[in-house]
Structure 1
Amino acid sequence: MPHVPRLGSGIPLVGRVDELARLRAAVDRARRAEAAAVLLAGDAGVGKTRLVTELGGHAESQGALVLTGRCLDVGEGGLPYLPFAEALAPLATSGDDPVARAVRARPALGRLLPLVPEAPAAAPDFAMAGDVDVRPRLRAEVDLGQLQLFDAVLGVLSEISEHRPVVLVLEDLHWADGSTRNLVSFLISRLRAQRVLMVGTYREEDVYRRHPLRGLLVELVRLPAVERVELRPFGEADARAFVEALAEKPLPPDVLADMVARSEGNPFFAEELLASSDDCDDLPAGLAEVLLARLERLGQDTRRVLRVVAVAGEGVAHAALAEVSGLGELELDEALREAVQHHALVIERGFYQFRHALLQEAVYADLLPGERTRMHAAYATRVRTNPQGRGREAKLAYHSLRSKDFPTALTALVQAADEAARLGAPGTALRHLEQALEIWDAVPDSARPEGYGELKLLMEASHYAGASGDPERAIAFARSAAEALPPDLDRGSAAMVWRRLAESLLSLDGSFDEAPPTIERAWELVADAGPSRARAWVLATRAQIQRAELRLEDARWSAENAVADARTVGIGDAEASALVTLGALADSDGKVDQARQRLVEGVAKARSTGALHVELRAMYYLALSHDDQGELDQALRLYRSGADRAEETGLAWSAFGLNSRLRYVSVRYLVGDWPDDAVERPRSPVSSTVTTIMNTAWVHLMVARGRFAEAERLVADLRAHWRSDLWIAMAATASGSELAYWQGEYERAARLVRDGVARFDEFYPRALGGIRICALGLEAAAAWATEARLRGDTAAVAEAGELGAALLAHVRDCVEHGTPRSGTIGPEGQAWLLRAEAAASGLAGPADASLWAKVVEAFGYGAVYEQAICRLRHAEALLAAGDTAPAAQELGEAHAFAERLEAGPLRTAVRDLARRARVELPGLAPARDVVDLLTERERAVLERVALGRTNRQVGEELYISEKTVSVHLSRAMAKLGASRRAEAVAIAYDRGLLARAAP
């Protein structure tokens, strides 16, 4: 009794009531012009495609246009925008006039739709000679082309949705290439009032920790327009109903129970288990075995066809199967008929493909090595003889690599990288180039692509690695290029190689020391030459590095000469880069207006020449100029503009795309405009260092929100990478100290600052960021000293005072000898300097309330979260001085802020202090009067605990048992609302229940 799965509409949708209701509700919202996106997650075989198919039928019945595209697993390089090309393909031949008009109005769609004419693009020139245009013009074409394509896709969907709702379904995003992921992010982040619903599916189990999709999902699910629907395996009841629906006849109860248990709620597993055996006895243990056991029942020709389809890795046309399989037309027809009837293959838009990816993987894995190689070679031959089709070179490279035809693969990889770059997918281009470099030595000189050498590939790979968020690999490729310089290369081209290495070294603080001698090596090669592209760019990069070295006059000379050379030979991108450096130098001189004028000029020049990396750098420094002056609203707007520009152009993880996003999150933290969650959280780019740098902003938010477990993980990761970048080292120190402070571990918090400052001083001494970090350490040291005084621990008081004095000395040293970016210490630095001095006033006794009042005022430039913390510190100092009324006002302000932002640790600290001071906070119950709550014995126990006695020692002094001491202490703590011994003592002192020990 065969139990053949009856897929599609023949089987009613089992379960999934809630999931389908949510998807239908999303369609309804889209019809009401509330654009939305749904991310449908689930394991392989759990029924994602079945569910979206059901949704598509519902949406079409409501008058929506349903567009569906799928990602394919075709190797590391991938096919840029493949699911969009498939989904939008029907638009090119649509007979619907509004659709046709929308498509014709956007020539950029020609990159995806072959029937739409595409605007011609200039051929790239990668020549490397002194006075020749040696810098790839392709870079600007890539960036601008991607932006045009993104805008075109968004525009056509938006315009069509004015006439009818649009449902765009993108399946198997876990196989999406980087360019597809960027376009998905672009579209979803711009969903507003269009009648558009985007649905993306992905395999949950395939998105491992470092999978490139993981970070994108983390970001997208936080957007208000995005809903995540998790498709879980069936429960027992649904699984039973599903198996019963699949079976042609009623199953014996024991067989049904076994099938339900073995399938573990996965519909695909259940289908295959049911179809693989007549009586369900002796079922294979592994899924692959189950799948292959089922296929063994098919004819020999059918199994051969399935192997041919498995090697293709995508849907295959009938003609391709006929050519590769070697079967005659009749034999092929019968084999395909059998494969389709037994649900091994399905037909989608005229192409044959496996019903499920797992089935294709099982068949492919079962191929013999020689068989696999021959079939890949046959596909490569077919692709090579068919010059049409998007992604042709990537497919040819894939099959040629698998068939060990390295000469063909090398040329195809280079051309595939070129295609990916033109489409604005630098990450995909990098993957192709890496594969090309891997097989370079295996290809003889005569078979290598014309016009390409290993040096050129290394230079391109370095550029695309930097653009894709992998600075370490950018450095590695650039270094390899320098090592591969041939002795007969002209001096200008050689200088550009060394310049590229120096530029890549700038991206990480840990590699900066190597940058100055590297750029000087480049300069030596062109210093005596006349103006040229190479000389202009070497000078521009040299100016950047000299400025970072604080050789400001040298940097100004290099930048001014770079501008002169660039204008002489008409090199706008190098001129723009030098203008940005001149703007930053003017900022250092305190000439703010001049600086901003230069930076605006640099933005315009970079944009006019398509130099997007330079444009992002200029936008970042323009925002930083406002940031330095405490103009946080303007800075926030400009950082956001820079981050958006980087996202739109595929450079979100380039150096200054990252910097803009980093500061955007950091300023939002300061101004109290906290996102609901990790909206700007990193998307796990290739480099772990880049991810860690982005986390330097988020770790402070995690601490401030009281998400201590997550914060501890982030701090640990920061510490593991602290040598890579100054930001990482500082954030690890500051956030670690904040975390320990809020947890009441004051001594540990102070020591973390002391040790952290010593570490990053090794490679960046007297960094002005040390003022802030030392201020945090001083607050911890003061709290440590206060707690020690309450215990009567004079040694700890002295140690805390000594550590605090050392931190205060470091602060003053930074102020005296540090070099502010804008020439003078701005409002933020001034506020933290005052905070350090105010905190230091609490090392030897109660803090100076007047100093804390000045700190509160200083943070009024816009840093409202830090101002709220300082209000708490001010209130503590006021209460110590007996000024209850102003202290109550400060506590009320701090509490209102903490409530609004759900800043848990701050809110808890404010409430605790208010309770101990019997201050009523708006909206909270009045604090209890505890003066008469303690018995004489409880007070006597607390007095001795305050002196540092153990429970045993207290018992000996009071002639009671240790157990009785513990009982009295527990009761006293409960009455005082304290969770720790030290806290109970502190509350008792504040209430006047105990006499204070002398400091």
Structure 2
Amino acid sequence: MTAALIGRAHPAAALRTELDRAVASHGGLVLVTGEAGIGKTTLVTGLAEDARRRGAWVLAGTCWDSDSAPGYWPWVQVVRALRRALPEEEWARLDTATLSALLGESPGSDGFRLHDAVTTALAAAAHDRPVVVVLDDLHWADAASLRLLEFAARHTWFERLLLVGAYRDVEAEAPGHPLRELVLPLVAKATTVTLTGLAPSEVAELMSRTAGTEPDPALAAEVHLRTGGNPFFVEQTARLWHSGSPVSAVAPGVRDALRRRLSLLPAPVTRLLTDAAVLGREFHRRILAVLAGVPVPEVDQLLARAAAARLVTALGEGRFAFAHDLVREARYAELEPAEVRRRHAAVVHALDAAPDLAPLVFAADRARHAYLAGAEVEPARAVELLVAAARDASARLANDESVGHYRRALERATEPRRRVVLALDLGTVLTRCGDGEEAWRVFEEAVALVRELDDDSLLARAALTLSRTAPTGARLAWTSDLLVAAHERLAGKPAEPLSLDRVTLELAARAAVLARDGEDDQELSFTLWARHDLIWGPGTARERERLTDELAVLARRTGDRENEFFASSLKWVALLEQGDPRYLEQYRSFQGLTAGSGLPFAEFAALLDRSIVSALRGRFAEAHADLDRVEATYGRELGYMVDQVRWSHLLLQGRFDDLAACTARLAAGDHPHPDLLAALTAVRQGDATRTVMGPFSREFAPMWLRYQAQAAALTGDREACSRLLTELTPHSGEWLVALYGCEISGPVDLWAGLLEAALGHQDAAISRLTAAAASADRLRLRPWAAEVRARLAAVLSERNAPGDADRAAALTAVVRAEASELGMPHLAAPPAAPAAVPANEFRRTDEVWTLRFAGREIRVPDAKGLRDLHILLGSPGTEIPAVRLLAPEADTAPTLGGDPVLDETAKSAYRHRLDHLDTRIDEAAALGKDSLAADLDREREALLAELRRAAGLGGRTRRLGDEAERARKAVTARIRDTLRKLADSHPELAKHLNTTVTTGSSCRYAPGADIRWRL
């Protein structure tokens, strides 16, 4: 390390030791801390020079003012340097998609996908030679960058990688600093080198080197006393002293020194630097020229003078930065508050007047100027820029940043309607961030304001927004009441009660009409997306295609890139669902639209769609490779979706061993219906004994329909075959598509053909299967074409009409060749014999149960006791708590014990809300707002119902132990009631269950012999 460092021998030695370790074996994390100007940058610069001389790659990044910098900015610089350093072939071996997205738009996400990609890239580079990463000014870092630094330090301990960070500890570690809780864990893991002031003799040496004149000891001691030995302050003082000024000029602080230094420059330079200070630490010469009202050539001349004075440095491509942030702070501090607001407003107005300059400024930076301009910028314009920044952050998957922009927009907004929409958007992003409690507080405030405004369209928007956040419990009841109230306001009170789905669908349609009438593109986009998602299911693809077309137009008109991508992706899904070959052209259009976007979510969507289409076309190796990349980069943030798509690939390919492991992962995770996946896997293997209870939500309904058709055809259940055939026939020519395109469940005619065959309608079956094969061919979906032809060959062999045997043999040969080429060996093998269906049956179809035992079969209407028995028969020998039987749809049963269902804090919150509602109801009634009073009263009744459910006799708090006892009594009573009724209609079954089923706090079915059931 350079010997020119004054008074830094011990810190330099400590860094050299860490560098030695990194060069020889493994690295670590070093933090260099101290106050502004103490010499941190000089010290780490010396370390970087030493590392380069020893053959290490040095990658550097400098943080920027966090109010305006995009997320991960220091890491963007590091990855840029890494890309320049690495040979092209080595770069290509990395996760270039993720790294290129980082470079293209500087994503601000703090998610695993970017952490892992950057860390892996650094570790890969360290295999060839040591790598030193220097991150300066971490006190200005965004939170996501610090999390990435901690992630990299944790996961590269044994790599030849040294991570070095420098920051102002007096700022970043101070109580109340927003980054303090992220910095302190880094300190615990790091080797920390804290720089303090120079000694008096060292101050004298630095002054001598700076001024070229050796000060006398008394003068050096005075400067040390005044500056505390801060090298930057010493240098500034020494320069002033050398120009003839007394050292006392430093006494008020470094700002006085900077002011004096700047006064030596021409006035146009200092004025220009003041304008630059408003722009931020970094700025573009063209933006500065517009703000200052000076031609660009003149700005170049003035910046050259400032660079010569070492106040600014050129970054290239027209961008400059202050040499030290204290220079910018000093110029910025010279401005009065009113002047600060005026200048920030001038930036906004200048950019509005010159749209061609907008790409030179980050959306977050424009929003910062608008916010700091205060009343100098119209509130509506400030909100518009803040919302644009929030959406830009969302498109970069930087949800934390998006939340901040929405908060500031809500703070600045004055128009009540706009405040409602902002609050709903803020709540939605908070939900996406996992902060459900705060999200619902924001939602409640928005709904309260909606009710005050008495606005029908806003009430619809609020109700639809809340319905899409998957509310549960009291929130579900509250949301349901809100949906009903909004529907009644827009459509009138229905003659008879409607299902909640019907209410929601009609509400979306009415809200769309209002948005069209009001020519409100943003509102129309919201309502059309709501309708798109609400109508999902067979027979709706044509309408969804039209919706995606209109949504794409709206997105382009409003500059909403995110929704443009979504519309393009879901259009190819709608076309494929209709059996329209144009889906492939639309898919390619979507890929082209996302290429080079630089937005992480767009890159993810394009990669996931490519994996799905590759699998559908038989390119399984490519499909799994793309899916591996999605999982490595984004998997943890997408929940079960990656494994769901992988499961679909494996099922189509017939990799049943791998399917078992995949289904187990999904069951252990957050997948809502792993039982449906397990049943679909089993029935595809010819096993119809593993059943599942439906129905399912609309996005899973096509998979449920597919399962029912396969199971009914396999078992030969004529009643089920006829019912399902009636349901499928209107959708002939279509394909079953679930989960918004993440699961393609084959052509409708395939499953209808299997049902026809099971019913003995072989001619009809052959006709339908032939149509299904033709559809698969038109769509170029080779795996499905092979699947259909294998089924068609089996039906032809069974019919055995003249020519059928030859046609079946020819089809079988084609299928085997395709199966071999595509890697689908299960199609080449002879079909497995269906698993024996148990003679005993305990199965529900819609609201009717089929019960068969000891040769007798009956059908009985649905009852809770039958559902309890169904669960017990499905787990013979297993103790099942009565509380789970009481609420089988719950994710987990309550823990037994004496804890109250509602604690005192919760009850207090309920009482507070009830008091507030009582006051609001009285106010509404006094003002004659009867509809508002009615809405508030419905919410009050819902809260009271929740309290009643949590209370025992006399209003005493109900405890979880009480819940267990209630469950024991309820379940025992309804099972016994069911067995009493069965004694008349099926005495053999009733006798068997009476002797094998025990009830109590836990219930159990324990048959003495090996009795199997079709459930």
For the aligned pair, the TM-score class normalised by the smaller chain equals 0.3 to 0.5
TM-score between the two structures when normalised by the length of structure 1: 0.47
Larger relative contact order (CA 8 Å, sep ≥ 6): 1
TM-score between the two structures when normalised by the length of structure 2: 0.46
